[in-house]
Amino acid sequence: IKMNIIIVKDSSEGGKKASKLFYDACANGAKVFGLATGSTPVTTYQHLVKSKIDFSKCISINLDEYVGLKPTDEQSYRYYMEKNLFEFKPFKRSYLPQGDAANAEEEVKRYDKVIADNPIDLQLLGIGRNGHIGFNEPGSSFDLTTHKVALTPSTIAANARFFEDEEDVPKYAYSMGIGSIMKSKSIILEAFGDNKADAVAKMIEGPVTEECPASVLQKHSNVTVIVDEAAAANL
């Protein structure tokens, strides 16, 4: 099985391509969309917002959320999703892990049930510089479902730019597991910029290993990778 690789000029063109794939999936009856946060999918959401796509009968399920943040916290992924997509293109229901849930064990169970009840038709992914997907850091088992993760120093440092102080970056997150991600019928992974080039090469050409979580996608039968020239540089 080969991943379908699309090389684009820049993130704007990449977002346009991805939004077209969402549009086509919708037209073909897809109802459940797995969504991602971070800087990478921003252009995809911009193109979706401008498009005629109608998600009002669809369901969205996000990959992850920081533990400890309220949904109204401006750094929360729920807030990001509201501002980048949901306010303009509402879904029938939009699920994210609840960062301020009282009980972590119950929260991960609740989220696994959400995913089990709503099998994902199309999952959007970004990739961390160390090859992580969602918040599944290197070394996480490919079998995991939703779980609470301790973020690695590299991920905390990479995400510090969104916070006033590196100290403010949460140390834990809830993340959909790789086992759940792999059950999605189709997957789009986007990567833009030269700081992703190494992770992209390992994901596509490296061995399938838990040391590079994204490499598991080599075993999925329907993956489209959208990369700009900088992120494709090591291929």
Interface ranges with ligand GLP (CB under 6 A): 36-40, 63-64, 126-128, 134-135, 155, 159
**Catalytic: which of 47, 107, 121, 132?**
132
Residue nearest to ligand GLP (CB): 126
Residue 164, SS3 per DSSP: coil
CA 159 to chain centre: 14
Q: Is 130 a catalytic residue?
A: yes
**Catalytic: which of 64, 107, 121, 190?**
64
**Catalytic: which of 84, 130, 136, 159?**
130
Contact 216, 204 (CB under 8 A): no
Report d(CA 68, CA 124) in Å as an integer.
Answer: 24
Give 16 or 196: the residue with its C-beta nearer to ligand GLP: 196
Q: Is 47 a catalytic residue?
A: no
Q: How far is the CB of 40 from ligand GLP (least distance, A)?
A: 3
Give 54 or 211: the residue with its C-beta nearer to ligand GLP: 211
Q: Is 137 a catalytic residue?
A: yes
CA 225 to chain centre: 13
DSSP string, 4-65: EEEEESSHHHHHHHHHHHHHHHHHTT--EEEE--SSTTHHHHHHHHHS----TT-EEEESEE
Give 54 or 166: the residue with its C-beta nearer to ligand GLP: 166
Known catalytic residues are: 64, 130, 132, 137
